Chains A and B, each alone.
Chain A
Amino acid sequence: MPKARSSIITIAKYTLMDQVRQKSFIIMFVMCALFLLLVRNCSQGGFMVNGQTLDNEAVVRVVLKAVFHINAAGTMFLAALFSMRVFKRDRDEGMQSCILSKPITRWQYVAGKILGLLVLSVAFMFILHSIVFIMFSVNLKVVMPEYLIASLLCSFNLLFVVVAVLLFSLLMPDIIAFLCVTGIGIVSFVADGIAAVSRSPMGQAMMQQSDSTSDLSLWKVIYYLWPKLSGIQQAASSMFSREGFQGFLSIYPFINILIYSLILGALLFWRFRHEDII
């Protein structure tokens, strides 16, 4: 078992190193740094509306929440980009046959790939969130350690994205695999947006007027079974945005994504076991 663990860690290490030296990774990192420079001004404090000074902490929480969601969603997108060509690149550069001609099992190879991509994506997101956290903490003297914990909770989403893209890239062209997972994410965010509107007084009034209960219950089932990528971000951000813990509703997205990740992971291992190595 220690030998298996060391093989997985070695493969993960090289996956990470190979990704970091990709031009696309460097470009993405520069773009994220530019984005952080743009939000830097929000951390200066002294916000005024109609001549009245606003409560710094309240504004900071709103800005932090927005930046948190953009960072988390953006990193999911990047994780999908990082993952989509991993198997193909290894195949083309001869590393797949090089690794698997050694006493390394296929599950160790796949586990190493998942671990490498996950560590890279989580580190990427955590560093961006940490920079924002430090910027706001230093300038406004408002320290919210929950922000960093919330960032780590979003790793569930990254696990889902990495596993899903790796699996889909074995079944379809890389770009389609990337688009499929991106589509799943977009649908999740849009569905949560619609659900939020439907829970508002205006939405409730509209639903009472229309008489389509059976259709709605079907959509509700799909809504709850759909990968709750947006739900995890909402639940995580509730930790620092004073929305409060909502019991099962806060935990459900994590259970949902964990189950999806386990199922997709099992399918990925099974599919790769039957893959012909070129």
Chain B
Amino acid sequence: MMNEDKYTLLMIELNAVTKQYGSFTAVDNISFSVQTGEYFALLGPNGAGKTTIVKMLLDFTQPTSGSLSINSVPSTQAASRTAIGYLAENHHIPPHLSGWQYLQRCAELLNINRSDATDQCRRIVKQIGIEGRENTKTNTYSKGMIQRLGMGAALLGNPKLLLLDEPTAGLDPIGIIEIRQLLESLKNQGMTIFLNSHLLSEVEKICDNAAIIHQGRLLVKDNIAALIKNGDTLEDVFVRLVKG
């Protein structure tokens, strides 16, 4: 019974994960878990190993040692990506496609049937606020629109887990607010969100829990409210931990 509860609750689990590139250790023996429905932020300075962890979760790169699982399925199996939406850092979209074509393409890759795909794409176009521009080529889109379109593609197929790698990277303040509003609107849908970011003020507003990593090592993982006690901001905590 205990095990059953554990497996239904844990969406992401990292077990003593290490990733080395030659002599450089990008991720050093990290273990943590993220529960279903949690809004979780992985924080760390540039080069801390955040993106490497996301890539290992997606099986884009293999860990040197340790194991990762999503919904209790090892991340090395394609089945672990059944209900995942992923937004890459600096998301790219083929410039010759329109936003609508891109969404349709993603839906087809998820084996969503044609009528469902059209319905979902229509809903997402509205949700990400590109109505009226969905049929123009993406090379005319602003960076914010590209990020929102990437987010929309990640939402196709009603995923249970969203892996967002620096979703606000390179965006202006308005773009950042738009992405934040989109994430907040998803909060009551029971989705688990794994957010990689170094925009601490945004994380503080959106997420429930956070882990801070530095030089591949896990420094702390806790509830954000618990981290920012005594009137500190998340930024204060982050700087204190990272600078030692």
Interface residues of A (CB under 8 A from B): 3, 6-7, 10-11, 14, 18, 21, 92-95, 97-105, 274, 276-278
Contacts and interface: CB of A to CB of B under 8 A. Distances in A.
Given A3-B111, A21-B96, A101-B60, 10 more contacts: A10-B108, A14-B105, A94-B88, A95-B94, A98-B106, A101-B58, A102-B81, A104-B81, A105-B78, A277-B55
A230 to B, nearest CB: 37
Determine the interface band of chain B, counting residues with CB < 8 A from chain A.
Answer: 20 to 34
A101 B78 contact: no
A136 to B, nearest CB: 38
A97 B62 CA distance: 15
A104 B60 contact: no
Given A10-B108, A93-B93, A97-B60, A103 B79 contact: yes
Contacts of B58: 97, 100-101, 277
Contacts of B127: none
Interface in B67-89: 78-82, 84, 86, 88
Contact of A276 (B61, B82, B86, B95): B61
B92 interface: yes
A101 B84 contact: yes
A101 B108 contact: no
A103 B55 CA distance: 15
Contacts of B108: 10
A141 B228 CA distance: 88
B60 A100 contact: yes
B79 A93 contact: no
Contact of B153 (A98, A274, A278): A98
B109 A104 contact: yes
B91 interface: yes
Q: 10 closest pairs, A vs B, by CB? A: A94-B92, A277-B60, A101-B86, A93-B94, A105-B78, A276-B61, A103-B81, A103-B78, A103-B82, A102-B109
B110 interface: yes
A85 to B, nearest CB: 13
B118 to A, nearest CB: 16
Contacts of B105: 14
Contact of A102 (B61, B88, B95, B110): B110
Q: Which one of A7, A18, A92, A97 has the highest number of Cβ atoms from chain B below 10 Å of its Cβ?
A: A97
A18 B61 CA distance: 26
12 contacts: A6-B111, A10-B108, A14-B105, A21-B96, A97-B58, A97-B86, A99-B109, A100-B60, A102-B81, A103-B110, A274-B62, A276-B60
Nearest to A13: B108
